[in-house]
Structure 1
Amino acid sequence: MKLIGIEEHFLTEEVCGAWKASGLEAKDPSIAFNSGVIKRRLFDIADERLALMDESGLDMQVLSLTSPALHGLGPASVGMAQRINDGIAEVAARYPSRFQALATLPVSMPDEAANELERCIKSLGFKGALLCSGGAEHLDSPGYFPILSCAETLNAPVLIHPGAPDIAVRNAYYSGFSPEVNTAFATYGLGWHYDAGIQFIRLVLSGTFDRLPALQMILGHWGELILFYAERLAAMDRVANLKLPLASYLRENLYVTASGMFFSHFLDRAVAIVGTERILFSTDYPFQYRTGNEARQFLETCHLSENDKAAFAHGNWMRLTRDRSTAN
């Protein structure tokens, strides 16, 4: 059974240099996680990556630039995004059975970002785009609307990847301990995931999906916590003044992926909320990589039917991204 991981990351020296030169490296504590063996694996788009894909049982990776991507890098990010996307397109063309890609976008330049997304989908054959949570600006702000509108027009899904919460949020909620604990608490311990999930809920509450009803978003880590509070979120229906009940947006505008969290009870919860047709597989390479055949073992031992296993492994992704290069 073909197994496609849709949240699998890379990094380049140019991006590392831009993070440092812009001062972002000093502001975003999560950038420091891209070091040692993780950094080596992020940089490698061939030999070691392919070997570890084979070891884990993953047939294909959908490549995306790791957080914070090009958020906050200004006008210089336009040319950088084009170079990154062209480079990844070359990799995907060299290994067409092993790699696909999500577009890297110069998000601080919304119109240029929309143009780049269109180029990536129509000319480069990319399957969607990645946006990061975190920072002072939310994804429902007007600056992101051209990107989201373009994504809907192109039928291109958008993965909301966790990013470090704004410094004010980190100071208010994730401080008071040692620097190491503060950083962990604000990022992979909890803060990343709350922030990413909140971005999707803000898109719902702002009416973005009422304006862009065909827009499809993806959340990693089994929905970045929001699926576990679906019943409480639904209580906002009486005040939200939306076209649909909030639960409908979870089932009509959201896909969720595993991100290497191979827990059967999380899978069960995702299926209960969004359905078997909206679950996607991923390993969150290289951050969640574990040796052995664990990825395929999780697929083989989960208690989905054979048809639903195939949908989870590859079918839902292929259906979601079908004919994207011919969108108009």
Structure 2
Amino acid sequence: MVPPLITLEEHYFSTAAMNTLDDKMVEQFKYIPGLRDKLTDADQIRLSEMEKGKVSLQVISHACIAGGPPPNVCREGNDQLAQDIKKNPDRFAGFAVLPMADPKECAKELERSVKRLGFVGAMIDNHVHGKYYDGDEYDVFWEKAQELDVPIYLHPTWPSDDMNPRYTGNFSEGAGRSLGASGWGWHTETGLHILRLFAAGVFDKFPRLKMIIGHFGEMLPFQLQRICNLSVRWGNMKRKLKEVWDENIWITTSGVWSLDPLRCVLGNTKIDHILYSVDYPFAKNEEGLEWVEQLEKSGLLTQQQFEMVAYRNAEKLLGVKAPVRS
């Protein structure tokens, strides 16, 4: 029997966000049937799609917006999402969208979204035009996230203009776009960002910071032992990388429907830091359900561990409660 399922990397676009999209995202609307409608709906279409995967509670967040939206778009988008969540408060929770180009405004909007709108954290794009968030100017943001005790989900985004040349070569333009994005590049860039934050001492400054990364850890688990061994050369950190991994990083299963990555992850990641997710609507809830059923039969996890991944870890991390399915 499938337990309650909570999913955390589930995407959406508010009206304000839709008006800021660049050609890369708009192009996807041409090739993925129904994508626009699924992203802009937070009611019957979304609930129907959740039923296909027996999803009890979905944490909704804006999909990636190249370059990051300005503060006014974030405020409007978060307000609209909050109103949408109110229609089905037992089925939806929210992650805030933030203006990552402006760290001070990020901190303000995060606080507003958590305290006034009831959001349970934020999902942020991996960079703003190639700029990462390991500089001192972002301390005000990380400090606010730690103070509010909510997780920050670091999500891949499109390569910036200066990144694009590394994904061009003796292959088609389509292959290059994929290599730079979900076919490879934006996953490794997100993993790199986590390592940059560690190397810059962000986790020393903010030892209670909670971060989530998707897609089974954005390539990091496979290389984790090697990175941990080499990271001792990166400076005099208060904690080693493996301690930060164990204490500050959570990973989700989003959009990866194989047990092979899980076998790797179980060897180096605490079970209470592994969370089920789908990556809707870029991945299908029913595909996620098939994976969940395969996992239950695999014997990789005890029943208690299986329920932790399915929903209990998310309940604990986010302070939410999965509704009991009838």
- TM normalised by structure 2 equals 0.90
Return the letter of the residue paired with 1:12: S
Residues 1:126 and 2:119 aligned together: yes
Residues 1:162 and 2:151 aligned together: no
Return the letter of the residue paired with 1:157: P
> Structure 1 residues 174 and 211, CA, compared in 2 at 3 Å: closer, same or farther?
farther
Residues 1:313 and 2:310 aligned together: yes
RMSD: 1.9
1:44 positional shift = 1.4
Q: 42, 46, 57: which one pairs with 1:45?
A: 42
Q: Give the 5 Å matches for 1:179-198.
A: 179-198=173-192
- TM normalised by structure 1 equals 0.89
1:79 positional shift = 2.0
Q: Secondary structure at the match of 1:9?
A: strand
Aligned to 1:8: 10
> Structure 1 residues 107 and 288, CA, compared in 2 at 3 Å: closer, same or farther?
same
1:167 positional shift = 2.2
Further displaced range: 169-178 or 53-62: 169-178
The one-character-per-residue Cα deviations of 1:245-302 (angstroms, maximum 9, x if unpaired) are: 2111111110000002122221222222221010011000000116464254245334
The sequence identity of aligned pairs, in percent, is: 29
Cα pair 1:254 1:274 within 8 Å, conserved: no
Q: 282, 286, 289: which one pairs with 2:284?
A: 289
Structure 1: tracts of 5 or more residues without a match: 20-24, 324-328
Q: Secondary structure at the match of 2:34?
A: helix
Q: Distance in 2 between matches of 1:193 and 1:31?
A: 21
The one-character-per-residue Cα deviations of 1:151-174 (angstroms, maximum 9, x if unpaired) are: 111111011110122222220244
Q: Secondary structure at the match of 1:160?
A: strand
Q: Secondary structure at the match of 2:277?
A: coil
> Structure 1 residues 113 and 238, CA, compared in 2 at 3 Å: closer, same or farther?
closer
Q: Distance in 1 between matches of 2:285 and 2:318?
A: 28
Residues 1:59 and 2:56 aligned together: yes
Q: Secondary structure at the match of 1:168?
A: coil
Q: Distance in 1 between matches of 2:226 and 2:26?
A: 33
Aligned to 2:324: none
Q: Give the 5 Å matches for 1:131-280.
A: 131-134=124-127, 135-241=129-235, 242-280=237-275
Return the letter of the residue paired with 1:304: L
Structure 2: tracts of 5 or more residues without a match: 321-326
Q: Which has the higher helix share?
A: 1
> Structure 1 residues 322 and 290, CA, compared in 2 at 3 Å: closer, same or farther?
closer
Q: Secondary structure at the match of 1:274?
A: coil
Q: How many residues align?
A: 312
Cα pair 2:107 2:141 within 8 Å, conserved: yes
Q: Distance in 2 between matches of 1:30 and 1:146?
A: 30
Q: Secondary structure at the match of 1:92?
A: helix
The one-character-per-residue Cα deviations of 1:161-212 (angstroms, maximum 9, x if unpaired) are: 1012222222024444221111111111101101111111111111100000
Return the letter of the residue paired with 1:47: Q
Further displaced range: 109-118 or 288-297: 288-297
Q: 62, 66, 87: which one pairs with 1:94?
A: 87
Return the letter of the residue paired with 2:203: F
Cα pair 1:7 1:259 within 8 Å, conserved: yes
> Structure 1 residues 78 and 169, CA, compared in 2 at 3 Å: closer, same or farther?
closer
> Structure 1 residues 13 and 304, CA, compared in 2 at 3 Å: closer, same or farther?
same
Aligned to 1:22: none
Further displaced range: 179-188 or 161-170: 161-170
1:110 positional shift = 1.7
Cα pair 1:9 1:286 within 8 Å, conserved: yes
Return the letter of the residue paired with 2:76: R
Q: Secondary structure at the match of 2:278?
A: coil
Return the letter of the residue paired with 1:301: K
Cα pair 2:94 2:120 within 8 Å, conserved: yes
The one-character-per-residue Cα deviations of 1:124-161 (angstroms, maximum 9, x if unpaired) are: 11111111114320121234322211111111101111
Q: Distance in 1 between matches of 2:18 and 2:86?
A: 25
